[in-house]
Amino acid sequence: MNTSELLPLLQRHKKLSITFVILMLLNGIIYLKITNYRQNKIEKLHSAYLKSGLKSGKAGLADSSAPTHPWLEVRSDIQTFKRQLPVMSAIIDRAKELKDVLNRNHLSATKIVFRPERIELLALWKYTGALKITGPYERLKALLSDIQKSPYLFCIESLTLINQSQKTEKVVMELRLATYFRDEHAFR
């Protein structure tokens, strides 16, 4: 439909055309009023928030030397935690530490393979390894204690103990460990 066909159509339906134009103008006016009202409301709330924070001494902008909001403190704690984590190349040291803990408790495990997983949100690498260890319950308990006391961060994600038989003291422990490393390029 071109412009020459549209004009006669609008002339035949004048009332409908006028109503349509009036509705479109009203719609535009109402939209502008609501948008302007909301913008003013947002500005008033923002300034009231800043004033109340400045009076109580808890506004994030009032004192930039130290975080005062809980979420800023948590964020700072996470940054500190990440800086203290070793870089990814230290995975060999973690595997050696785990092997040493097993040897100290006179236990052996199935081959441990650590699988990397990138945690984008925190710029960290998580390495997860699963192992199966068979031995007396007391030694397995000592092993868990040594893992807990390790200076390195090992997180036990799952732990299963299975008694092989009622006749022996041998227990099978399936252990899933995770350890974390910072991205070598994240804090430069």
For the chain, residues with pLDDT lower than 50 are 59-64, 67, 188
Per-residue model confidence as pLDDT tens digits over 174-183: 999 998 888 7
Give one DSSP letter per residue of 61-118, joined into a string: TT-TTS--SHHHHHHHHHHHHHHHSPBGGGHHHHHHHHHHHHHHTT--BSPP-EEEEE
- Name the token pair of 127: 């390495």
Q: Which residues pair with 131 in a beta bridge?
A: 175
Q: Which amino acid is at 96?
A: K
Per-residue model confidence as pLDDT tens digits over 135-147: 998 999 999 999 8
CA distances from 78 to 29, 73, 90 (A): 48, 9, 20
What is the C-alpha separation between 139 and 152, in angstroms, rounded?
A: 20
CB 51 within 8 A of CB 58: no
Exposure string over 71-97, b if 16+ CB within 10 A, otherwise e: eeeeeeeeeeebeebbeeeebeebbeb
What is the C-alpha separation between 175 and 188, in angstroms, rounded?
A: 35
What is the C-alpha separation between 91 and 147, in angstroms, rounded?
A: 16
Those residues whose C-beta lies under 8 Å from the C-beta of residue 129, and which sit 6 or more positions away, are 98, 112, 113, 114, 115, 176, 177, 178
pTM listed for this prediction: 0.54
